[in-house]
Structure 1
């Protein structure tokens, strides 16, 4: 088992990971802030879902989720339809325009990561990816087991 000094250093490194997230956030298009990108990413990875499920995956209040959903619905990136099983609920569905926006987000994220990690070996990138996945699982991140669409990239732009 790792010692206290190792956990302290890990805590410092995780705290500093905000710089990486901010760097990824800076490449987002002006009309697609981080919350919008997170919604698109989750819909792309998990498929159609209710607002309650989306709020759970985002780990935010329903009012915050509603604002994000309204923003991307206004841009035509998602559709909100009545749930046939419960007419009071809405099902969120990624539109073709939303998929195009998501593809652009992934392209930008992948380009930035490829640029910033260009001096890393393939093995180092794979190891980091594996270890980050394990870390998320250790914390019970419900986003760790996505349903990927065929040909979809396995990375999240911001989520």
Structure 2
């Protein structure tokens, strides 16, 4: 297992990664903010889906998902049609205009990454992608598993009675 110093360095790198995310955000078209781009990306990757599934994939509240969906629907990038299995629900589907917008986003992102990582080897880019996928999967596992807390270090254990007992 990694040591404390390694985890602390990892935390510093996560914080610094904000600069990368900001630069990626700056290349988005003005009418396609990050949330809209995420919705288009998920629909492109996973195909037609209900709003509830989209909210789950985005890991955000349904009200936030609804705002993103309304934004891109107003631009004609998706259509919302009744779910044949449940008429109260809507199925979200990319339109040809939405697919064109997604293709444009992909092109812009690919060009930026190719420019910034131009001095990286193919193997290094592949390693980074693999490690990021593994990191994401580790956190996805945490979302579906019950919350775990680390056992306190023996020197930090308290003799007080917990406020809540089960």
* TM class by smaller structure: 0.7 to 0.9
Instruction: Quote the Cα distance in structure 1 between the aligned partners of 2:29 and 2:124.
Output: 29
Instruction: Quote the Cα distance in structure 1 between the aligned partners of 2:65 and 2:138.
Output: 25
The offset of 1:112, in angstroms, is 0.2
After the TM superposition, which segments of 4 or more aligned residues of structure 1 sit over 6 Å from their partners? none
Corresponding residue for residue 7 of structure 2:
7
1:53 and 2:53 correspond: yes
In the TM superposition, 1:90-129 aligns within 5 A as 90-129=90-129
Instruction: Quote the Cα distance in structure 2 between the aligned partners of 1:141 and 1:20.
Output: 25
The offset of 1:141, in angstroms, is 6.7
Instruction: Quote the Cα distance in structure 1 between the aligned partners of 2:67 and 2:126.
Output: 36
Aligned residues: 142
1:86 and 2:86 correspond: yes
Provide Cα deviations, 1:19-54, integer angstroms capped at 9, x if missing partner.
111100000001101110000000001110001111
1:42 and 2:42 correspond: yes
Closer/same/farther in 2, CA of residues 18 and 107 from structure 1, 3 Å limit: same
Closer/same/farther in 2, CA of residues 95 and 34 from structure 1, 3 Å limit: same
The offset of 1:59, in angstroms, is 1.1
The offset of 1:116, in angstroms, is 0.5
The offset of 1:121, in angstroms, is 1.1
Instruction: Quote the Cα distance in structure 2 between the aligned partners of 1:8 and 1:127.
Output: 21
- The normalised TM-score by structure 1 is 0.87
Structure with larger Rg: 2
* Unmatched segments (≥5 aa) in structure 1: 143-159
The offset of 1:131, in angstroms, is 0.6
- The normalised TM-score by structure 2 is 0.83
The two structures, once aligned, show a CA RMSD in angstroms of 1.2
Instruction: Quote the Cα distance in structure 2 between the aligned partners of 1:74 and 1:141.
Output: 35
